[in-house]
Amino acid sequence: MSGRAPLRTAAASTLIAILAVAVLAADQFTKHLAIQNLPSERPVPVLGDFLILYLIRNPGAAFSLGEGVTWIFTLALAAVAVVILWLMITRVGSRAWAIVLGLLLGGVLGNLTDRLFRAPGFAVGHVVDFINTPWMMPAIYNVADIFIVTMMIGVAVLVVSGLHLDGTRENRGHAADDTTPRDGGGDGGEESPSDGAVEARPDGEPRDGR
């Protein structure tokens, strides 16, 4: 079992919802700022080559893959969101899982919002990307992407650690064999007090107690 008592379903659902809304709001707010203040497809160095702001609208996935099938990514994001919502309502009782799934759901909803409501149209909208860290990866991404990637790693860590969605933990150890001899047991047992005992006679001289 986990060291802490599992959350009730209502508490876990509330935590997931709060975190998801917070990430969604942060993602959409930063995208709004990027659109209002950054030139399109022109690099704006912030910390040299360490951090560059570069506003683009991405119809595909990472590295602009799948630009012609935007609707597939919309369906994939929607499916992930539905699965997380189902787990939120029915399964999650772990604080760690609630935090990870809440942040992941927020990231998924951030990009799903772009797919559904941004140009060029419903379900084929382009995702707003504006963060570039060439020292780490060549891709341009956004706040939602950060939470999606990091929380997927978090999901893997929780799975490997054996923590279940309901807050219980997988017991990977095995009980040690009990090899302690027991009193009165056959071979290897302790001798009874009379075995080999010497009984004293009233005159003080010892005599064989058997």
pLDDT tens-place string over residues 158-209: 999 999 999 898 776 544 444 445 554 445 444 444 455 555 555 555 555 4
Residue 68's pLDDT is 60
Angle of helix 70-90 versus helix 95-117 axis, rounded to 10: 150
Residue 115's pLDDT is 94
What are the start-end ranges of the H helices in 5-140? 9-37, 70-90, 95-117
Which residues neighbour 35 within 8 Å (Cβ) at sequence distance 6 or greater? 55, 128
Residue 203's pLDDT is 55
The pair of three-digit structure tokens given for residue 62, joined into one six-digit string = 């990472």
Q: What is the pTM of this model?
A: 0.77
Alpha-carbon distances, residue 49 vs 31, 108, 146, 199 (angstroms)? 21, 28, 19, 94
- The SS3 of residue 28 is helix
Low pLDDT (below 50) residues in the chain: 1-2, 174-180, 184-186, 188-194, 209-210
Q: Point out the residues that are catalytic.
A: 129, 145
Residue 8's pLDDT is 85
Beta bridge partners of 131: 53, 141
Q: Which of 74, 95, 91 is nearest to 18 (CA)?
A: 95
- The SS3 of residue 53 is strand
Residue 2's pLDDT is 44
The pair of three-digit structure tokens given for residue 55, joined into one six-digit string = 């506003």
